[in-house]
A and B are shown apart, each in its own frame.
Chain A
Amino acid sequence: MIVHQATSFRSAAWAGRAKLVVRCSGNGASSGAFQAGQKVKVVSSIKIYHAPKHPEGIDLNGMEGTLIKDVTHYKGKILSANFPFEVEFHLPSEGKPAKFKAHLGEDEIQAL
């Protein structure tokens, strides 16, 4: 979103000048708060159904994972995913370590 702020001072006595302030912030999800590889923690109650060995669903609240990427950035474009942060989680399990990825929103995770 591009925000323009223009104020102009016009006065012969003050020799004012027009000031143009342009503030640009990237569209898409990244406010720069999270980076790939960052450890994050889930801070709201989110039930997901695609974790291995948990078809009945598990709540991710309180779980910690690693941020993989922001999926709104794709080949130089900005796309419209509403849960843009792909986070990898590990589940404790006897035998082979189980891991899965889930997509989370900016306000659903906190940096560690």
Chain B
Amino acid sequence: MLRATSLPVRPTACSRASRARMVVRATAEPVTGSKNLEIMRKFSEQYAKRSGTYFCVDKSVTAVVIQGLAEHKDTLGAALCPCRHYDDKEAEAAQGYWNCPCVPMRERKECHCMLFLTEDNDFAGRDQTITMDEIKSGTSGMH
């Protein structure tokens, strides 16, 4: 979004001192909070490595989940699991059971979103990394 403000100046006798000033302020607003998207991308990589889990062979699955986590972080302040339905999202985010990494993942390494997959999982790929480009192309075609 570009904003331009200008200060019109009336010509006066000492007009050399006064000049028209045009101030252009450019602000780029992130689309769907891309700051949180980068944060969740990094978190996902770190947590996969820390937990010894791998991303799905189909990286668009990974991308969609990371996008969903970022959106919840934008709206709720916490990365509530995007793959579940809740009656009261704010209360769930405050209580924390489903905040990524959720309790089933932390304790049992069970991630029903298929974001973090144990090595023995049929859908586990070999990657513990995902680039922002992969996220963008994995989520293209979404809202």
Residues of A in contact with B (beta carbons under 8 Å apart)? 46-50, 71, 74-75, 77-83, 102-103
Contacts and interface: CB of A to CB of B under 8 A. Distances in A.
A80 B103 CA distance: 12
A91 B22 CA distance: 71
Contact of A80 (B92, B104, B106): B92
B91 A102 contact: no
Contacts of B103: 81, 83, 103
Given A71-B95, A74-B95, A80 B109 contact: no
Nearest to B87: A80
A39 to B, nearest CB: 20
Majority SS at the chain B contact face: helix
A-side interface mostly: loop
Interface pairs A-B: 6 shortest CB-CB: A81-B97, A74-B95, A48-B107, A77-B91, A103-B103, A50-B107
A46 B92 CA distance: 25
Contacts of B97: 71, 79-81, 103
Contact of B108 (A47, A74, A78, A81): A47
Interface string B108-122: 110000000000000
A74 B89 CA distance: 13
B54 interface: no
Given A80-B84, A80-B98, A81-B97, A75 B104 contact: no
7 contacts: A49-B51, A49-B108, A50-B106, A77-B88, A80-B84, A80-B86, A83-B104
A46 B104 CA distance: 11
A83 B95 CA distance: 14
Find the residue from B85, B91, B97, B104 having the highest chain A CB count within 10 A. Answer: B97
Nearest to B85: A80
A99 B138 CA distance: 42
B92 to A, nearest CB: 6
A74 B91 contact: yes
Contacts of B107: 48-50, 83, 102-103
A79 B91 contact: yes
Contacts of A49: 51, 107-109
Which of B87, B92, B95, B106 has the most chain A CB atoms closer than 10 A to its own CB?
A: B95
A83 B98 CA distance: 11
Contact of A79 (B51, B95, B108, B109): B95
